[in-house]
Chains A and B, each alone.
Chain A
Amino acid sequence: MIKIHNLKKSFGENEVLKDINLVINPQEVVVVIGPSGSGKSTLLRCINLLETITSGHILIEGKDITDKMNDINKMRAEVGMVFQQFNLFPHKTVIENIMLAPVKVRGIAEEPARRKGLELLRKVGLEEKALAYPDSLSGGQKQRVAIARALAMEPKIMLFDEPTSALDPEVVGEVLEVMKQLAREGMTMVVVTHEMGFAREVGDRVIFMDGGYIVEENEPKQLFENPHQERTQAFLSKVL
């Protein structure tokens, strides 16, 4: 379970997150929507400690990840992140991309790590690409490898920041399919996306962010069909 209390984040004078309070339950899929610049990426990056937060607390399974006493790297390893731009390591093969962190961070031996990696590749449908370099893959394949790479650390929660926004339309489906399967298996997920179909189908809850606040949150059906806030209505009328 993740609890976010009074989270604030500023870049210099610019307060990007203004008092975010959010609880994410185990096995829950939370979809975050909102206009550009509303702070969606920043929220995910704070949960993964890629940004140092200005004030507030983030607790993962009761442990305050913002507490300086906790090992920031251990905390990060519990949280998987999938980026819009994939960020695969281009100098390593697909299987090496996946094995690197388990071997170097968790200290798992090469062989079991490889076996686990191949298993994950099978899961995302890319077992035959194990020895390929990322440059030879399509965008959809890259993103599926990136998901497998994050899963290899056995994270307690997976964060997705617009995982399909950089993809050609025809390969968006294959990535969403992998994410749906993950959701079915009970992975706790926070997904920033413009894919409203995905939000409706897979999301347990949709959060609408605007101007650094969570303006409204509800079950997908409720939020999409019966938004209470004016800003939500205005946003949805543009994207639906």
Chain B
Amino acid sequence: MDFRFDIIAEYTPFLVKGTLLTIGLSIAGILIGTVLGLLIGLGKLVNNKLAAFPFNLYITFFRGTPLFVQILLVHFGVVPLFMGETNAIIAAIIALSLNAAAYIAEIFRAGIQSIDRGQMEAARSLGMNQRQAMRYVILPQAFKRMIPPLGNEFIVLIKESSLAAVITAPEIMYWGRAMAGQYYKVWEPYLTAALIYLILTISLSFLLNRLERRLNTG
């Protein structure tokens, strides 16, 4: 078996572009997913069962169905419905964000509920309203606890963004598959793709660990 570095070299510019898109998809997914997830997580925390119902439904749907299915639904169903025609990158961002939001909502809920009840009571007894108590007392503490699970979710998102290849968003796996198709090779494209994903996820873990340590000493 001869390992053809030359075809990897040939595909390097595409793989670089693909990596940038993977990073872009992941960052967009985590940013939008975090904002949405915070809102959904807060929605789920309201005491009124009826008001919390849609948020529960959302979380149940997106956690209970495969991301693969969600990407196809968004790409071939939701995006054409709103934009007339579909767009792979937009569809990938939407699907990844909606999916991440469901997981992040649960992370937020768990983070907020992990803060001792006494903190809210102390804040309220000092005259803060619900929003002030959340903003100045509960959320800053909860965010700190959310960093490890949020980091995990970010890593999951980077890996799962590879599913966008099936709707032809030109990220890492898209180019990997293109390479495999052109040369009828297996090891070169997929090992290269695996290596890039590894570099991305390991670098992110490293950054997250440092952030965590910094916050713990501060």
Residue positions of A touching B, CB distance < 8 A: 48, 50, 73-74, 76-77, 79-81, 83, 85, 87-91, 100-101, 104-106, 146, 149-150, 153
Nearest Cβ distance between residue A93 and chain B, in whole angstroms?
Answer: 11
Cβ contact within 8 Å between B118 and A73: no
Cβ contact within 8 Å between B122 and A77: no
Cβ contact within 8 Å between A77 and B126: yes
* CB of B124 closer than 8 Å to a CB of A: yes
A102 CA / B175 CA spacing, docked (Å): 58
Interface residues of B in 147-191 (CB under 8 A from A): none
Q: Which residues of B contact A150 (CB under 8 A)?
A: 125-126
A89 CA / B122 CA spacing, docked (Å): 9
Q: Which residues of A contact B118 (CB under 8 A)?
A: 83, 85, 87
Ordered by A's residue number, 8 sampled pairs between the chains whose C-beta atoms are within 8 Å are A81-B125, A85-B116, A87-B116, A89-B119, A89-B122, A100-B136, A150-B125, A150-B126
How many residue pairs link A and B with beta carbons under 8 A? The number is 61
Q: In the complex where A91-B141, A105-B132 touch, is A153 in contact with B126 (Cβ < 8 A)?
A: yes
A89 CA / B127 CA spacing, docked (Å): 15
Q: Which residues of A contact B116 (CB under 8 A)?
A: 85, 87
Cβ contact within 8 Å between A48 and B125: yes
Cβ contact within 8 Å between B126 and A74: no
* CB of B144 closer than 8 Å to a CB of A: yes
Cβ contact within 8 Å between B144 and A76: no
Cβ contact within 8 Å between B141 and A79: no
Residue with the highest number of chain B CB atoms closer than 10 Å, among A100, A101, A150: A101
Interface SS of B by simple majority = helix
Cβ contact within 8 Å between A91 and B125: no
A91 CA / B125 CA spacing, docked (Å): 18
* CB of B128 closer than 8 Å to a CB of A: yes
Cβ contact within 8 Å between B136 and A104: yes
Cβ contact within 8 Å between B132 and A76: no
Nearest Cβ distance between residue A18 and chain B, in whole angstroms?
Answer: 24
Query: What is the chain B residue whose CB lies nearest that of A101?
Result: B126
A150 CA / B122 CA spacing, docked (Å): 9
Nearest 5 CB-CB pairs, A to B?
A77-B127, A87-B122, A101-B126, A87-B118, A81-B125
A48 CA / B129 CA spacing, docked (Å): 13
Query: What is the chain A residue whose CB lies nearest that of B122?
Result: A87
Nearest Cβ distance between residue A56 and chain B, in whole angstroms?
Answer: 20
Q: Which residues of A contact B129 (CB under 8 A)?
A: 73
* CB of B140 closer than 8 Å to a CB of A: yes
Cβ contact within 8 Å between A105 and B125: no
Q: Which residues of B contact A89 (CB under 8 A)?
A: 119, 122-123, 137, 141
A111 CA / B123 CA spacing, docked (Å): 21
Residue with the highest number of chain B CB atoms closer than 10 Å, among A90, A149, A150: A90
Query: What is the chain B residue whose CB lies nearest that of A83?
Result: B118
Cβ contact within 8 Å between B124 and A104: no
Cβ contact within 8 Å between B126 and A90: no
Cβ contact within 8 Å between A91 and B132: no
* CB of B85 closer than 8 Å to a CB of A: no
